[in-house]
Every structure is written in C-alpha cells, then in structure tokens.
Chains A and B, each alone.
Chain A
C-alpha cells in the first residue's frame, strides 16, 4: 500500500512497513492486518510470550470540569454512562458504555481517573460521534481529543518482565491500575489492561516518541509485532465484545451480558441510580431480565461459524432462536469459537444449539465466557 490521501496514518506506519505489515484500511486508518508470521502464529505468540500492538487509531479524549474538580467531571460523565465514575479513584481505570435513549450502546470505552481530569479511550470508528455527543451533553466540561498521542498495547505472560526492564514500577501495578512510567526517556501513561485476555499493558505516549519506544520494546527478543487479525481472534477467545459486531445501538448492556460493568450505585436503589440515557430500560432489565442474551459459542468440528449465521434450537433449522455476531477459528482452542445472541431460554451454559453453515446444521454448544481463561493480574 502506498500512501493514500483518503486514509489516516498512525505514528507507527513506517515501523509497520519496516516489519512487513500487511496494511489494510480499518476505521479510516491504514492498519496492519498481520505481519510475516501470520495470524495463527501471532495469536499463539501473545498467549505464550508477549506481543506489541499499535492501537493508535483509537480515540484518546481528556475531560476536565470547568470548575477544575475531577469529581464534577465524573458526575458529568455519569450523565452519559451507566458505570460509577465518581467512585473511580485516581490511578484506576474502568470499562463502560455510552448508551442511547433506548438503552442501546453508542460505543464502549475505558475511563481513567486522574487527579485533575478523566481520560477516555474510545473506538476509532466512533470517536467523532463520541466527541460530538460529549461536547453536546457535557457543557460543564472541556472535552479535548488528544490528537498527538499514540497508543501501544503490550500483551502476554511476559509483558511484565519486558516493561519492568524499562521501569520497575510496572511490576507492582495490578489489573486496571494506571500510572506514569518512563520508557526509554519517554513519559508514558500506562494502564494494566488490554483486549486479549492476557496480562499486559496499554501505553499512551506522545506521537513523537512512539516509533522509538516501539522499537526499544521490540529489542526484547520475546516481543513481536501483532496485527489486527490476531487482535480479533484473541479478544474473541477472551469473550470480549467488538463494537459494531457484538454490541451496537440496538443491544443494551444487559442483553450484552455486560451488567458487571454497572455498579450498585447506579442501579435501582443506589446512591446515584440511573441518570444516564436509557436508564429506565436498562435498570428494568437488570431487575426483570431480558429476552435475549449474548453468549459464548463452541461449534463442533473445525469449520468456523461466522458473523450473521443463524442459530436454531435443533437440526430442523425451522425458527432461529439467535444469531452469531462474531465467529472465527480460535488458534489457542484449536477449534472454532464464536459469540452471539440467543433467546434467554437458550442462554444457559451447556445448551446444545445448531448453527446454520452453508445450508446445513453445525452442533454448537453455549459456553461460558471467556472461552480461554483470562490471565489478568488482579
């Protein structure tokens, strides 16, 4: 791929080219689908050692209350998300969603609390809409996209060894802790989190430092660059949602089995119950249940069952009871893996369903998520 003026480029574009990245358009950016090793090998490398991902296409946004108080910023953001942001301590990160009036999900995001502001990481494809949404609804805050930042993810069981060789404080961080580390002289805001189900870090740093820091990390022989293809198969095995596939404006957080991300304080009877778009619907779903649920799926055999495949209660393939929203071959499971929505009576772990693949039925079992156990450092 030469340079294409219709695409955006991350600060690591040259690095991707130097390392043989197969570049594809993704959410308006030229991004590496894979490198020379290929998706299967890259996926396994992250589960066994440590991989480096460029996720600079994601949106990084700072929110500051005009009053200067971070608690005011947290109260303001709670008008748009169902998570407890007020109780989020500086140096901690939390997962949540922007919801709409019908309880659907506009985007899913990470929120980091700092001493004086909140920092958000949002999906690349949603970032312009998210910014407009926040600017429209958070008049009491300054909402500022951080355009000159890059974002790296260092993921895998050896991530701690690698990062603590640059800054020893990396080792003492727990899952969802956030702190400033110095990597090769660059001040980086690092969270212990990721999108692979493995232990690891996400590293926000100045765009001008990104190429140098990435090359320093790659000096460790255990670290390999990993593309978007393996990122997708890793997150799928880990049971993590992809916005636009597994969650969107028509799915609520409760249908999506994300109610763990709605703390007690925001639920009925909580100290700051509701107060976010679609709260009436979402709080009622938390009390009374939902008619469909997102579930993990393990199809029999070797053929992947993919996005859009209908799911049936039995091999007659008469009336669908659900649909696959993400599906691929799971390199760690060495078997197909999927997730999708099914009518609640079919959502129990162990339920035997049948997916339709090229006109025939594939026995498919409802599985507990994650399908590959998470190895976060809690």
Chain B
C-alpha cells in the first residue's frame, strides 16, 4: 500500500486499483469540527478535480475532490451519524470514500508524505 497526497490536502491509500481517500490532518485542523459529510453515491464515475463528497463545518461547506479519475465504490457510512470522526481521526477512521482508479498512471503527479509535509510548510 502506498500513501499519496494532493495539493487539495487529501490523502489516498492505494492498494492495487483501489484507493481510500480522506483529508489530511492539516485540512481537518483548518476546517474545524465537522457537522455533516455527504458522499456521492457508489457507482458514480468522476474525473480528477470533480467533487466526491462535501464536508460541512459550522461556518462553511467544502468540496472534497477526486484526486484522479475513477469510480466511487463506497462512502464511509459511519460519518453520517458522527461526522466529527473526520476531525478527530482524519487519516484513519475518518476516511471519506473508497475509490476505484481508472488510470493509475495519474498517481505519478501526486506527492508522497515528505513532499506534502514540505508543501504544507
């Protein structure tokens, strides 16, 4: 399994042609406690930079984007009852969607952990 990061502050944990996608600790800290998470339905085909989910804090709604092209396999159902898991454990239990990659070559454009740490500063 390999971990990738995007400039939109998302992470992908890739295993074969599937990936689990979530937001980084940095993004979770910026957003504050979340009150609502809505993922697009399983089976939705998305292109890179299209929304796969929306997360809402008290103040604002933010889209979560597909890092690469693919198909949504499932949303994290536990978040509809307790969206605050994204805030408390964004890189673990607070994952947002599972995703099937349609073009794994696109992963080459993403960052590894060290590059992301440098990007966030």
Contact = CB atoms under 8 A, between A and B. Distances in A.
Contact of A39 (B54, B57, B61): B57
Interface in A329-343: 329, 331
Interface residues of A, number: 19
A20 B32 CA distance: 14
A302 interface: yes
A230 B58 CA distance: 9
Interface string A34-77: 10001111010000000000000000000000000000000000
Given A34-B32, A303-B36, A329-B35, A40 B58 contact: yes
B58 A39 contact: yes
B36 A232 contact: no
A328 interface: yes
A244 to B, nearest CB: 16
Interface in B26-55: 32-33, 35-36, 38, 54
A230 B57 CA distance: 12
Contacts of B57: 39, 329
A325 interface: no
A358 interface: yes
Nearest to B81: A302
Interface in B69-86: 80, 83
Given A39-B59, A229-B59, A306-B61, A358 B54 contact: yes
Contacts of B36: 302-304, 329
A304 B56 contact: yes
Contacts, number: 45
A43 B54 contact: no
Given A329-B56, A358-B54, A304 B33 contact: no
Nearest to B63: A358
A358 B59 CA distance: 17
B33 A303 contact: no
Nearest to A304: B56
B58 A331 contact: yes
B58 A229 contact: yes
A230 to B, nearest CB: 8
A329 B35 CA distance: 7
Given A303-B38, A304-B35, A329-B35, A233 B58 contact: yes
Tell which of B32, B35, B80, B83 has the most Cβ of chain A within 10 Å: B35
Interface string A225-257: 000011011000000000000000000000000
A303 B32 contact: no
B56 A303 contact: yes
A232 B59 contact: yes
Interface of A: 33-34, 38-41, 43, 229-230, 232-233, 302-304, 306, 328-329, 331, 358
13 contacts: A34-B32, A39-B33, A40-B33, A40-B58, A232-B59, A233-B58, A302-B80, A303-B56, A304-B36, A306-B60, A328-B58, A328-B59, A329-B56
